[in-house]
């Protein structure tokens, strides 16, 4: 099995990505003012946001999310298929991306495209990623949570360092076209956070339309929706099935980290994120 595809110091899963596509993303892709980007470090709630934004676009009507694959509704910009789809279709586009700041299309900085950046407690990101990639055939997989934790801290996991991702993108947080959300606030106050997204996207929904967005993007409904739960991803990549809709909770890391792992992680977190005040991150 291939290890990773490395591009300028960032590891990518080798099968769905190519060096030329990742380079073209940064240097050639033209981001338009009308485009919307859902941007995350992987396993932070990307697909939840895709579902919510799709439902906001249809004013709560679930027909689109029930009939079109999630990865077609919101193609992954840097993947081979996603890039081709975005290049060959008329906009405005909704897309998702996990690219770190330094590899993102330069054209973003001259456009008014709207970007929603979702952050999540890196401990939960780590646990979610461990269970997601542990049996995949996409790239090298870890033998234990401890091994994955070491890779995560080194940035030797798909899309590289979580710490670098956050530091890079947070430099955009004061811009009007950049909305920062957290998985934790979305869990705690889903309705209020969806209203915030509507406001950012300039969409006005009636209360019953909002109810439908909430209902149709819930964990259970997404888990049962074949267009959204990744159950139809080819099995040669994930022989045991894709574990996208795993638990959908905040704080699951407490069930998996040992005390020593938690302490080691805290120390690294404090060192690497010292540039941000502690209240900046809305998790325990």
- Catalytic residue status for 98: yes
CB of 181 to ligand A3P, least distance (A): 13
Of 35-43, 57-65, 86-94, 255-263, which part binds ligand A3P (CB under 6 A)? 35-43
CB of 112 to ligand A3P, least distance (A): 25
Radius of gyration of the chain (CA): 18
Asked whether the beta carbons of 138 and 15 are under 8 A apart, the reply is yes
x-or-dash pattern for ligand A3P, window 178-207, by CB under 6 A?
A: ------------------------------
Of 37-45, 147-155, 207-215, 275-283, which part binds ligand A3P (CB under 6 A)? 37-45
Nearest to 242 by CA among 214, 216, 222: 222
x-or-dash pattern for ligand A3P, window 217-236, by CB under 6 A?
A: xxx--x--------------
Query: Is 69 a binder of ligand A3P (CB under 6 A)?
Result: no
CB of 218 to ligand A3P, least distance (A): 6
Nearest to 133 by CA among 246, 7, 40, 272: 246
Spell out the residues 6+ positions from residue 192 whose beta carbon is closer than 8 angstroms to its own. none
SS3 3: coil
Phi/psi of residue 211, nearest 5 degrees: -55, -40
Nearest to 7 by CA among 79, 95, 58: 79
Q: Which residue has the tokens 């770190």?
A: 100
- Of 109 and 145, which CB lies nearer to ligand A3P in the complex structure? 145
How many chain residues are in contact with ligand A3P, going by CB under 6 A?
20
Helix or strand (DSSP H, E) at 117: strand 114-119
Whole-angstrom distance, CA of residue 237 vs CA of residue 210: 36
- Of 21 and 46, which CB lies nearer to ligand A3P in the complex structure? 46
Q: Is the peptide bond before 92 cis (omega within 30 degrees of 0)?
A: yes
Taking CB under 6 A as the criterion, the residue among 60, 245, 257, 273 binding ligand A3P is: 245
CB of 124 to ligand A3P, least distance (A): 6
Whole-angstrom distance, CA of residue 240 vs CA of residue 215: 29
x-or-dash pattern for ligand A3P, window 122-161, by CB under 6 A?
A: --x---x---------------------------------
Taking CB under 6 A as the criterion, the residue among 10, 46, 97, 225 binding ligand A3P is: 46
SS3 38: strand
The catalytic residue among 98, 141, 165, 256 is 98
Tokens of 14: 């080798």
Q: Which residue has the tokens 């606030």?
A: 185
**Cα–Cα distances in Å, from 41 out to 125, 180, 265?**
8, 13, 18
Taking CB under 6 A as the criterion, the residue among 47, 136, 212, 216 binding ligand A3P is: 47
Binding site for ligand A3P (CB under 6 A): 40, 42-48, 124, 128, 217-219, 222, 244-248, 252
Q: Would you name the residues annotated as active-site residues?
A: 98
């Amino acid at each position: 099995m291939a290890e990773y595809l490395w591009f300028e110091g960032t590891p990518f899963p080798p099968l769905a990505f190519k060096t030329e596509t990742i380079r073209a993303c940064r240097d050639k892709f033209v981001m338009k003012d009308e485009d919307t980007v859902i941007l995350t470090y992987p396993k932070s709630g990307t697909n939840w946001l895709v579902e919510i934004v799709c439902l906001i676009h249809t004013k709560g009507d679930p027909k689109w999310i029930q009939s079109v694959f999630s990865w077609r509704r919101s193609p992954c910009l840097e993947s081979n298929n996603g890039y081709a789809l975005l290049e060959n279709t008329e906009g405005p586009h909704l897309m998702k991306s996990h690219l770190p700041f330094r590899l993102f299309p330069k054209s973003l900085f001259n456009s008014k495209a709207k970007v929603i950046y979702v952050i999540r407690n890196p401990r939960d990101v780590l646990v979610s990623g461990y269970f997601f990639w542990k049996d995949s055939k996409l790239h090298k997989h870890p033998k234990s949570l401890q091994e994955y934790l070491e890779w995560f801290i080194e940035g030797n996991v798909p899309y590289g360092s979580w710490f670098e991702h956050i530091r890079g993108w947070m430099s955009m947080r004061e811009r009007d076209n950049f909305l920062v959300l957290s998985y934790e606030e979305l869990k705690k106050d889903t309705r209020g956070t969806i209203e915030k997204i509507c406001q950012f996207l300039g969409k006005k929904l009636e209360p019953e339309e909002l109810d439908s967005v909430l209902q149709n993007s819930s964990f259970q409904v997404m888990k049962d929706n074949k267009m959204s739960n990744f159950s139809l991803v080819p099995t040669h990549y994930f022989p045991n099935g894709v574990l996208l809709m795993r638990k959908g909770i905040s704080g699951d890391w407490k069930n998996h980290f040992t005390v020593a792992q938690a302490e080691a992680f805290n120390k690294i977190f404090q060192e690497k994120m010292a540039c941000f005040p502690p209240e900046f991150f809305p998790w325990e």
